[in-house]
Structure formats: structure tokens, C-alpha cells
Chain A
Amino acid sequence: GEDVEQSLFLSVREGDSSVINCTYTDSSSTYLYWYKQEPGAGLQLLTYIFSNMDMKQDQRLTVLLNKKDKHLSLRIADTQTGDSAIYFCAESGNDMRFGAGTRLTVKP
């Protein structure tokens, strides 16, 4: 199966919270990342978490890591239309592996 898995689509209303989930397989991953990709653009690093952390908060973004279950989530509070994009989670060991990306659609 895939090394990193995430659901493909998420749709929320403006102002609601968005939660994007990801599972990974490499227990030796040092860092786990969330990237944002807008249409036609490169990857923008949103946030990252070191593997010995459980949670990291950065303004509207909250990352939760369950290392036992190899589960990573990204919560976006007060989601805005500008948050509409594809969100990739990634794990890094000797190289970096990405999930397929979750397309977040924010409806006004």
C-alpha cells in the first residue's frame, strides 16, 4: 500500500474548522510536514512537527501527532476561502514521502 495515506477531498463552510488526516508507515520518520499547494504553484511549507512531539500550534494551524498509531492531522481554525488548496502531508526519513494530497474546498 501507499507509504502515506490521506483522504482526497474535504469540503467545509467558511468560518468552520477543517481537519485533514494522514497516516504514515515509516516509524523512523524524524519530521512530519504539512504542505499547501495552490493551483499552478509550488509547495508551501505550512508547518512541521518533530517526531517526539504530540502537538504543535501555529496561529490557525494545529498539528496533532499520534506516533503509536502513525496518525497525523492538521486542523485549520476559522477556515477562509483563501485556504482552498491541496494539502500534502509528508514524512521524512532518508528521503521524503508524500501523501496524494487532500483537496480542501471552502464554501462561502
Chain B
Amino acid sequence: GAVVSQHPSRVICKSGTSVKIECRSLDFQATTMFWYRQFPKQSLMLMATSNEGSKATYEQGVEKDKFLINHASLTLSTLTVTSAHPEDSSFYICSARNTGGTYGYTFGSGTRLTVV
């Protein structure tokens, strides 16, 4: 079945540094990937839609200069949290649209980011 690998699963970084999170589709090609953020005890919120070979589409209120998304290949999208602050601490999850599968979306296992 379709598998999405997300790495790292946990990361702790110092305030002011940048962190890169990778999302890979292992056995299918994903022209579109999605990045979500989840605050404690809240639902997943879509941050941006990542399109292979073109600019990402950001949801309202999401700073594109802070959350850099690169989708350079059909199997890899990256989210870079730049100049991280403690309020960026959250759970980030990616998903990929598997157009060849029996259902459309597969999720990564998530990345717990803690900014200290």
C-alpha cells in the first residue's frame, strides 16, 4: 500500500534556528503534498499545499517566509521552519495524494517540534 515517510519524528531546536522536515512518498509519486499543523488538543489545520515543480499554496494566516516549502521531486516535499520560536512548537504532519490508490490521501507519522 501507499506509504509516506516523514522525518524526523521528533526534533528539539534552539530559538532562532531553522528546522527542516522531510516528507517522502515511498512507493508512489505525489504531485501534491499537504502540510498540516496540530496544536495540543486541537484539530489538524492545513498550512499549505505543496505542488511539485511550482510554488506552494499557503492557507490564510500562514507566513510563507517562515514556513518554506520545497517540492522538488515527485516523491519529496520539505517544510523548513525558519527562525523558529517557542510558539512554533507543534506537531506537523504531511500527507500525499495518491492518485493511483483506492483512496486519496496517505499521512506521514508526524514530527513533534519543540523550540527551546
In the assembled complex, the Cα of A40 lies from the Cα of B77 at a distance in Å of: 23
- Chain B residues near A100 (CB-CB < 8 A): 42-43
Interface string of B11-29 (1 = CB under 8 A from A): 0000000000000000000
Interface residues on A, range: 10 to 19
Question: Nearest-CB distance from B61 to chain A (Å)?
Answer: 16
Given contacts A96-B95, A98-B44, A101-B43, contact A40 B105 (CB under 8 A): no
Question: Nearest-CB distance from B69 to chain A (Å)?
Answer: 14
B interface, over-half SS: strand
Given contacts A95-B49, A96-B34, A96-B105, contact A42 B42 (CB under 8 A): no
- Chain A residues near B95 (CB-CB < 8 A): 96
Candidates A41, A97, A99; contact of B109 at CB < 8 Å: A41
- Chain B residues near A101 (CB-CB < 8 A): 42-43
